[in-house]
């Protein structure tokens, strides 16, 4: 990856350690996930989630997946003809490991868009808060700055309710927010018999595009 990326000094974790989900996944309160979060917050994005984004949004040029995990998003995008550069802070056996997105100062060579499902846990906190909303703000803010540097695009998978937070709304309003693609089905983050995890949250892709005509309001789109 040349000098574009700052390598993480942290020891690379091994394959993700998945927590056990309770059998009563549907009955818990919304603020309780019911399972232990994995190391570095690794959860693979089901294909239909990326396919829903690509039904509505076309990306110009090479795409960067900076939190690529085991390559779930990259693989779907490549299947649809996109060139994708894949990096991750950890080694999940795919792409280039050891690249801390939050330390990257520029986009990889040739990339004009960022597409990712960032970690929701406390990858790094704002004002010392170890909260997923703050962590998400850091990632989205950083992605938007990098996308702006190439006048490109960014699409990030967030919890639907995250959009309504004051700081999220301010951040999104300060950038060319083009669309939200709301997922009308809830995501099964992992699906293993008694370990099945069905998210208590609805999710949406938030899409930003520096190429969108000025004055055009953002579109609210649905996965199906």
Torsion sign (Cα): 57, 197, 28, 24: positive
Residue 148 falls in which region: left (phi positive, over 0), alpha (psi -120 to 50) or beta: alpha
Cβ(138)–Cβ(162) below 8 Å: no
At 167, list the tokens: 């700081």
Half-sphere exposure for 76 (CA within 13 Å, toward CB):
19
User: 39 vs 182, which CB is nearer to ligand SAM?
Assistant: 39
Helix, strand or coil, per DSSP, at residue 38: coil
User: 90 vs 180, which CB is nearer to ligand SAM?
Assistant: 90
Give the chain's count of helices (H) and strands (E).
4, 9
> Which of 53, 54, 68, 183 touches ligand SAM by CB under 6 A?
68
The reply on whether position 209 binds ligand SAM by CB under 6 A is no
The reply on whether position 100 binds ligand SAM by CB under 6 A is yes
User: 123 vs 168, which CB is nearer to ligand SAM?
Assistant: 123
Can you name the residues that pair with 220 across neighbouring β-strands? 180
- Which residue's structure tokens are 């990306």? 59
Helix, strand or coil, per DSSP, at residue 173: helix
The reply on whether position 45 binds ligand SAM by CB under 6 A is yes
> Which of 53, 67, 111, 168 touches ligand SAM by CB under 6 A?
67
> Which of 21, 52, 77, 90 touches ligand SAM by CB under 6 A?
90
> Which of 54, 85, 108, 116 touches ligand SAM by CB under 6 A?
116
Residue 69 falls in which region: left (phi positive, over 0), alpha (psi -120 to 50) or beta: left
> Which of 5, 64, 101, 162 touches ligand SAM by CB under 6 A?
101
User: 62 vs 212, which CB is nearer to ligand SAM?
Assistant: 62
Helix, strand or coil, per DSSP, at residue 220: strand
Q: Which residue is nearest to ligand SAM (CB)?
A: 69
The reply on whether position 42 binds ligand SAM by CB under 6 A is yes
> Which of 1, 96, 102, 219 touches ligand SAM by CB under 6 A?
102
Question: In angstroms, what is the minimal distance from the CB of 215 to ligand SAM?
Answer: 33
* Binding residues for ligand SAM (CB under 6 A): 40-45, 66-69, 72-73, 88-90, 92, 100-102, 116-117, 119, 123
């Amino acid at each position: 990856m040349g000098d574009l990326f700052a390598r993480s000094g942290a020891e690379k974790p091994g394959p993700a350690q998945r927590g056990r989900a309770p059998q009563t996944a549907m009955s818990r309160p919304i603020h309780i996930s019911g399972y232990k979060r994995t190391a570095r917050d690794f959860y693979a994005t089901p294909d239909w989630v990326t396919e829903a984004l690509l039904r509505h949004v076309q990306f110009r040029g090479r795409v960067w997946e900076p939190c690529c995990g085991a390559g779930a998003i990259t693989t779907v995008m490549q299947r649809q003809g996109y060139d994708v550069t894949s990096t991750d802070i950890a080694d999940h056996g795919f792409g280039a490991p050891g690249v801390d997105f939050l330390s990257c100062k520029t986009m990889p060579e040739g990339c004009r868009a960022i597409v990712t499902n960032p970690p929701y846990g406390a990858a790094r906190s704002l004002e010392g808060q170890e909260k997923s909303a703050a962590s998400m703000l850091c990632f989205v803010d950083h992605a938007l700055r990098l996308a702006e540097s190439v006048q490109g695009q960014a699409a990030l998978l967030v919890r639907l309710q995250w959009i309504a937070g004051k700081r999220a709304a301010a951040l999104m309003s300060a950038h060319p927010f083009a669309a939200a693609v709301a997922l009308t089905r809830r995501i099964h983050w992992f699906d293993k018999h008694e370990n099945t995890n069905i998210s208590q949250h609805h999710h949406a892709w938030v899409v930003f595009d520096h190429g969108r005509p000025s004055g055009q309001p953002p579109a609210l789109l649905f996965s199906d």
